[in-house]
Amino acid sequence: MKSSEKILPYIIGGLLLLAILVANLSVLFRYLFESPFTWSDEFLRYLFIWVVFVGAALSYKNDELIDMSMITDMLKSQRATQSIEIFRHFCSLILIFVITWQGLDIMLGQLRTGEVSTSMEVPIWLVTFSLVFSGIIWIAFAGEKVFKAVKKWDKNNGEEVQI
Amino acid sequence: MSLAIVGFFFVFLVLRIPIAIALALSSVAYLFFFMSVPMSIVSQQMISSIDKFTLMAIPFFIVAGGLMETGGISERIINFSRALVGPLPGGMALVMVVSTMLFSGMTGSGVADAAAIGSVLIPAMARSGYDLRFSAALQATSGVLGPLIPPSILAVLYGVAVGVSIGDMLLAGIVPGLVMALFIMGTAVVISVKRGYKSDGEFSFAALWKATREAFWALLTPIIIMGGIYTGIFTPTEAAAVACLYSIIVGVFIYKELKMKDILMVLYRSGILAASVMIIVATSAAFSWIVTREGLPQMLADWFLGLSSNPYVFLFAVSILLLIVGCFLDGAPAVLILAPILAPVAVSFGIDPVHFGIVMVCCMSIGLITPPVGLNLFVVSTITKEPVHKILTEMGPFLIASILALIIIIAFPYLTLVVPQMMR
């Protein structure tokens, strides 16, 4: 797990560098050699879909997704704060589960029909797989957060502490 | 019943569920209780909504901003502005606005601009005798220019959400951005002169020439981006990708402040930041799909038309609504959620969707400096270590100035539409 966490930034950074190079080369080829890439548009779209879903799961893990903490920050009771903590991660867990499940359903359908993309002719299920793949790691992250929040709740069990 | 989805969303938002998740969760909940449409529509919409080449401009612009912040570009922009406007009355205050304006011409977000320029200029202004809270308030306000002056993430999001040309949206922001800059500069100069803040050195052509030469490659960035889009050499998405490569080349080979080994880490960090914006694009798609199918925009249009048929009454009423929304919500989710609902209403009033878009972007940019949730206030508060409520004591005149600029932008659609029309 640790080594994969170290290597992941380089994979995502590398993919983005590749995206920058492909997009620039595509402009260059269109003007200099008057032969535009037919595949670059689709390649960049698919690459970004993967980066967005995996990146979003990682931002969730690092608590970097945009949220509104204004109201919850006003809560004085630690008990209430902890209850909300459990509830909101549990809600995320349920949603990601639903989305991943539905994504899997769509992906299996695409596997059956063997549908391919228009210009690169790659199997379409590879795109949907990005949602399923990041959904699975996201479920793991959310599960961990629910688990931690419940543990915190247990620790303070019975003591109503004012903060 | 269609208001239930909005209700769900608010409950989840208040409970601090991330906006991206709250949007999808309220869609799933609404589908479950009120609609007989398969739930897989949410997953389907999530993929198809970000499967658009025009949208790729956003991650590319965010990545370009990250590269420029680390590549020594902001420093040279500041030196150039100092040589240009420093010697005028209220010199350093003007330097701050002009630097932020120039930096806005290269990056897509107001927060990044305020952070990059403010971390250098706020301490420098304190050394020149400017009040710390005044400098902080001015920097926060200057950051409003970020989303107005192209490139702009909000403008791209609006274009994609409503289906107007991204190029038009970007070009349309130029004049309103300059109007806003003039109002902020005017306010800053009046306050500086009144308080006796001195100007920054003597003007000299030699110094200006030197600073211009050093900043040349940085100053070329907005020209490449907007010039390329304006002349049609490349699309906004390609322009953003060209800006990325250009910042790598300038940062590594010309200014030599960006190390090869850091590039991948900078790309990774900006990539994650871009993903946290794009995931809202993905999940808001299902939300807007339901909201539109349930006829909410039509309901809203009828309600507004019942009030008055005057487009300006509508624009001002919506602006007040948006300014209030901006006090609580970040610009990107607000545009993604509200633009598909409000833009059709604006069109039914005979308002140009590009003009409406810029009004919307302008309101949400002002949202960066309105409490309780004004991201730029948090940024300058972090830089100065002054609490937000103390910086707010200096915000009054700047808030009034930016709202006056907004009124001008609403009242004169020509200011917004002149540049995109010139292109046609």
- Chain B residues 39-58 within an 8 A CB cutoff of chain A: 39-40, 42-44, 46-47, 50-53, 56
Q: Render pLDDT for A109-155 as a digit per residue (tens, 0 to 9).
A: 999 998 888 888 889 899 999 999 999 999 999 999 999 999 888 77
Which residues of chain A does B20 touch, with a Cβ-Cβ cutoff of 8 Å? 56, 65-66
Contacts of B310 (CB under 8 A, 6+ apart): none
Minimal C-alpha gap between A22 and chain B (Å): 9
More confident residue, A36 or A103: A103
Average pLDDT rounded to a whole number, residues A4-25: 89
How far is residue B332's CA from residue B337's CA, in Å, rounded to a whole number? 9
Of A9, A68, A87, the CB nearest to B13: A68
Asked whether A29 and A37 are in contact (CB, 8 A), the reply is yes
Q: Buried (b) or exposed (e) across B47-66, using 16+ Cβ within 10 A?
A: bebbeebbbbbbbbbbbbbb
- Nearest chain B residue to A135 by CA distance is B43
Asked whether B398 and B369 are in contact (CB, 8 A), the reply is yes
Q: Biggest alpha carbon distance in chain B? A: 72
Contact: A27, B241; criterion CB under 8 Å: yes
Contacts of A46 (CB under 8 A, 6+ apart): A117, A120, A122, A126, A127, B51
Tokens of B131: 């009040």
Interface test with A, best of B13, B21, B39 (most A CBs within 10 A): B21
| pLDDT for B388 | 86
Which residues of chain A does B328 touch, with a Cβ-Cβ cutoff of 8 Å? 68, 70
Asked whether B142 and B101 are in contact (CB, 8 A), the reply is yes
| pLDDT for B315 | 95
Bridge partners of A123, per DSSP, are A116
Q: Which amino acid is at B373?
A: V
B265 shares contact with chain A (CB less than 8 Å):
yes
List the end-to-end C-alpha distance of chain B, in Å, as a whole number.
44
DSSP state, residue A72: H
Asked whether B134 and B122 are in contact (CB, 8 A), the reply is no
Tokens of A111: 């596997």
Asked whether B132 and B96 are in contact (CB, 8 A), the reply is no
Of B233, B265, B333, the CB nearest to A66: B333
Of B17, B56, B244, the CB nearest to A44: B56
| Backbone torsion region of residue B385, taken as left when φ is above 0, otherwise alpha when ψ lies between -120 and 50, otherwise beta | left
Of B13, B47, B53, the CB nearest to A41: B53
| pLDDT for B357 | 97
Interface test with A, best of B8, B19, B43, B160 (most A CBs within 10 A): B43
Average pLDDT rounded to a whole number, residues A23-31: 90
Structure confidence at residue A2 as a pLDDT band (50, 70, 90)? low
Beta strands in B97-172 (DSSP E): none
ipTM of the complex: 0.90
B16 shares contact with chain A (CB less than 8 Å):
yes
Contact: B20, A56; criterion CB under 8 Å: yes
DSSP state, residue B37: S
Bridge partners of B212, per DSSP, are none
How far is residue B151's CA from residue B61's CA, in Å, rounded to a whole number? 8
How far is residue A56's CA from residue B134's CA, in Å, rounded to a whole number? 37
B378 shares contact with chain A (CB less than 8 Å):
no
Q: What are the mean pLDDT values of chain B's consecutive 10-residue runs (424 residues total)?
A: 85 89 92 88 90 88 86 87 91 93 85 85 90 95 93 93 92 96 96 90 90 91 88 89 92 88 88 88 87 82 84 93 87 89 91 97 95 84 88 95 97 95 80
Provide the total of helices (H) and of strands (E) in chain B, helices listed first: 23, 0
- Nearest chain A residue to B23 by CA distance is A95
* DSSP-based three-state secondary structure for B136: helix
| Residue whose structure tokens are 């609404």 | B30
pTM strictly above 0.90: no
Of B44, B46, B272, the CB nearest to A58: B272
Asked whether B361 and B166 are in contact (CB, 8 A), the reply is no
Residue B151: which of B252, B57, B88, B79 has the closest Cα?
B57
| Residue whose structure tokens are 């709740």 | A153
The torsion angles phi and psi of B5, rounded to 5 degrees, stand at: -65, -35
Asked whether B187 and B82 are in contact (CB, 8 A), the reply is no
Structure confidence at residue A157 as a pLDDT band (50, 70, 90)? low
Cis peptide leading into residue B151 (ω within 30°): yes
| pLDDT for A163 | 45
Residue A120: which of A60, A40, A52 has the closest Cα?
A40
Long-range contacts of A99-102 (CB under 8 A, 24+ apart): A99/A131, A99/A135, A99/B24, A99/B28, A99/B42, A99/B43, A99/B46, A100/A131, A100/A132, A100/A135, A100/A136, A100/A138, A100/A139, A102/B39, A102/B40, A102/B42, A102/B43, A102/B44
Of B14, B20, B241, the CB nearest to A65: B20
Burial of residue A81 (number of CB atoms within 10 Å: 0-12, 13-18, 19+): middle
Residues comprising chain A, all counted = 163
Bridge partners of A116, per DSSP, are A123
DSSP state, residue B198: P
Minimal C-alpha gap between B68 and chain A (Å): 15
B371 shares contact with chain A (CB less than 8 Å):
no
B25 shares contact with chain A (CB less than 8 Å):
yes
Asked whether B279 and B294 are in contact (CB, 8 A), the reply is no
How far is residue B281's CA from residue A50's CA, in Å, rounded to a whole number? 14
| pLDDT for A45 | 93
Q: Render pLDDT for A129-139 as a digit per residue (tens, 0 to 9).
A: 999 999 999 99
- Chain B residues 50-109 within an 8 A CB cutoff of chain A: 50-53, 56, 59-60, 63
Alpha-carbon Rg for chain B, nearest whole angstrom, is: 21
| Residue whose structure tokens are 């893990």 | A61
Q: Biggest alpha carbon distance in chain A? A: 74
- Nearest chain A residue to B61 by CA distance is A20
Which residues of chain B does A117 touch, with a Cβ-Cβ cutoff of 8 Å? none
Structure confidence at residue A159 as a pLDDT band (50, 70, 90)? low
Total CB pairs under 8 A between chain A and B: 192
pLDDT at A161 over 70: no
